Each structure stands twice: as C-alpha cells, then as structure tokens.
Amino acid sequence: MRDELKDSTPTEAMVECLGNTGYSVQEIGRALNTTSNGHLSWFLAAYALCGGVLVLVTGRLGDHSGHKYVFVCGWIWMAIWSLVTGFAHNVVLFDFARGMTGVGNGALVPNSFALLARAFPPFSVKKNIAFAFLGFCAPAGYIFGGLIGAAFAENVTWRWGYWFWAIGSLMLGLQFDYIESVTGVTGLILFVFAWNQASVVGWQEPYTYTLLIIGIVLIIIFAYSQSHVSAPILPNSLWRRKGFTPVVAALAFGWMSFGIFLYYITIFILTIRRESPLTAVAEMVPLVIGGLFATASVGILGLPLGFALTCLLVVGGPDLSFASSSILISNAVLPEEQGVAGSFIATVVQYSIAFGLGIAGTVESHVNDGGSNVVLGYRGAYWLAIGFASVAFFVVVLFVRDNRFDPKVDAPEETSSDGEPIGDKREAGAQV
C-alpha cells in the first residue's frame, strides 16, 4: 500500500485546478461574456465548494468500499468534467462543470489521506515527511496549474488548459446514510452559495437570504442526525479526541485567509498591474520556494510552532497548516477514524476557501464605492484575510498542542465506543 500514492498527488490536484483557472480568469470571463468580479470568483469558488462539501461523503464511502477504488473513481470523474468545462460556452455551464470537477477532487483528498496514514506507523519520521510533502503540493500545484492554464490561454485557448487536465486525470485514474448526505451536502452548498451570490446581487434579494436560512437549518439537521444513526458520516467521537477541535478551527480560519489571498493577489496583478497571465505566474513563483522551506520547518520546528507560523508567513500557509494539521489529527484519532478524519480536513480546507471568497466578495462590493474604487475594494478583502489569519494564529497559540510531549500523568485510560483502550487500537493501527 505504500506505493499507491507515489504517482499522484491529490493535494496538488486540489489547488492545481484553482491555479489553472485563477491565472486565466480574465480570458475565460471575456469568452463567457462576463467581467463581474462576483462572477469571476465563482469560477474558483464553485470547484472548492463542491469538492469541500462532498469530501465527507466520499471519505466515508472509501471507508466502506475501499479507499483505492474511490481514489481511482475520483480521477476518472475529474477527467470527465474537466473535458466538459473546456467545452462550456456560458457562465452557468462553466460553473456547474467546475463544481462537478471539484466533486472528483473531493474523492481524491480524503482517500489519499487514509491510504497515506495507513502506509506508515504513528509518530514515525517518514509519516511526518510524507504528510509534509503532501502539504507542499498545495502552492506548487497552484503555480504549476497556473503555468499550464496561462500558457494555453496566451498561446492557444484557455479551453486546452482543461482538456489537458482531463487527459492527465484520465491517465492517473486508469493506472450510509443518504438522508445525512443530502442534508449535510445541500446545507453546506446553500450556505456558501448565499454568501457568494450576495456579492453579485446583494442581500436585498429575497432568494439570497432565504437560501442562507435553509442552508443553516439543513446543517443543524445534519449535525443532530450524527448522534442518532448507527454509521454517521462525521462521528461525534472525533470531537472528543484531544486537540481535534482547535486544530480544525485554526485550519478553517487560516484557509479562509489563504483563499482570499490567492484570488485577490492574482486578480490584482492581472487587473491593476495589467500583467499577462504568464507574467503573473512568474511573480508568484516565490510561493513555491517559500513553501518548500515551510514544509521542512514542520519537522524542524515542531508541529504547533510550525502551525502558528502559518498565519505569519503566507507563502508557507498551505504547507505548514495542511501538513501540521494532518499529522496532529492523524495522531489523535483511532485507526478506523483515519478516513473520516482525512475527509473532514479536506472539507474544512476546500469549504473554507469557498466561504472566505464569499465573505470577501461581499466586503469588496460594500467598500469599493460602487465599483469606482477597485483598489479600495481589494484592500477591504485583504484586511478581511488578515483578520481571519489573526484569529487562526491566536487559536493555535492558545489552544493547539502536540500531545505527544505532554507530561505523563496517572489518569483513567481513554476508551473507544466499544470499550477497548484507545492506546491498544492505535498500536494495532500501526500494523495496518
């Protein structure tokens, strides 16, 4: 099982599709007859949103049907919808196809997490390095995807960026409870859709706040159902694992910040500085270089410190946070919870990107003087990102700990729901 992930990096795929679109967003917008920043941000948010909310379901499906099978199906699904994206000739079809592509990525990330977690024993150095490399693929994938998309957009057509990705995904792919799924997925989608759409039409539109309310109600129903079913998609036992909640909270705020940074720094270079897509990609290359050093710091500085630096060094944000949180949570949960924990991490990351962009779009539209002061609107989004990053930083500093180094005290042994000692089950997980 150790070799199952060696030829594909799903974290890179997660942001590569974002970069592929981000640096070609103006060419795509012109081809689809839209220049609205609210519409353009949906080109990225649709992918992240659908991938994020469905990743819980696909991770659970991997637990029951086999992580490798769902992993392969995810690549094939991405290939199909990337092909459709390249043929889109209107905004609606393009956004829908982007969302469906995100679903495929939602199948990749949690199942790759589970495969990788089971390939190494807990607390091993090799496991830390593997997860750190997985985190490094985030900025590298964004730049690599941007390079492909920008090159095709400038020299041929932006459509070939998606057709190229369809071919690559196909090559890689060839080498429960339905009420819970419907309520959870629908609720999360409607909640973020309302925030993103509000930046386009405003909150005065009745359907915008109506969908927001419906989304909140469905999310509440989903959360309630997790305590009353035999095989929950998101077991409540995860929240009882020491350190799980603060890591998730910090991860959410951190990736909301980073998603805003990625989009608005890219659109600033393209619209205000009027640089070409390829030039914009070149100017973002330091993101990869900084990410490489950030990845190394996870092992050198220690997990919580590395996680905290995420909020101070934006170039290392995705590397430090994804790698550190993955290791911390993987070490905290039981072997049979690895798949769903990986799913939830991926959900938090991708959903946070979409949610953050939705709030940023609303802030931008309210501070840009009706569109006459574009830079002021961008600055409002940047300040929002700084605020999110600050919250993440203080959560990490105050609440996140690497429990491996806690002093040993005499305490009742923690047990799982079936009464077995957790420590014993974790040791058993090392042999998987």
Which of 67-76, 404-413, 420-429 comes out lowest in average pLDDT?
420-429
Which of 6-10, 79-83, 197-201, 254-258 comes out lowest in average pLDDT?
6-10
Q: Which residue has the tokens 């109600």?
A: 217
Model pLDDT, residue 4: 41
Q: How far is CA 261 from CA 257, 292, 387, 396, in A?
A: 6, 19, 12, 20
Every domain of the chain and the residues it spans: 10-176+233-401
- What's the whole-number mean pLDDT along residues 305-328? 62
Of 102, 113, 34, 98, residue with least CA distance to 323: 113
- What's the whole-number mean pLDDT along residues 105-126? 80
Model pLDDT, residue 406: 58
Pick the CATH number of 10-176+233-401 from 1.10.1060.10, 1.10.260.30, 1.20.1250.20, 1.10.287.3240: 1.20.1250.20
Model pLDDT, residue 384: 94
Read off the pLDDT of residues 342-387 as tens digits, 9 standing for 90 and up.
778 888 888 888 889 989 988 998 898 877 899 999 999 999 999 9
**Euclidean distance between CA atoms 132 and 134, whole angstroms:** 5
**Euclidean distance between CA atoms 12 and 18, whole angstroms:** 10
| Dihedral angle computed from the Cα positions of residues 272, 273, 277 and 278, in that order, rounded to the nearest 10 degrees | -160
> Does the reported pTM lie above 0.75?
no
Read off the pLDDT of residues 121-148 as tens digits, 9 standing for 90 and up.
777 777 777 777 777 776 677 788 888 8
pLDDT at 104 over 70: yes
Model pLDDT, residue 235: 80
**Euclidean distance between CA atoms 164 and 208, whole angstroms:** 36
Model pLDDT, residue 378: 92
- What's the whole-number mean pLDDT along residues 289-309? 57
Q: Which residues pair with 421 in a beta bridge?
A: 415
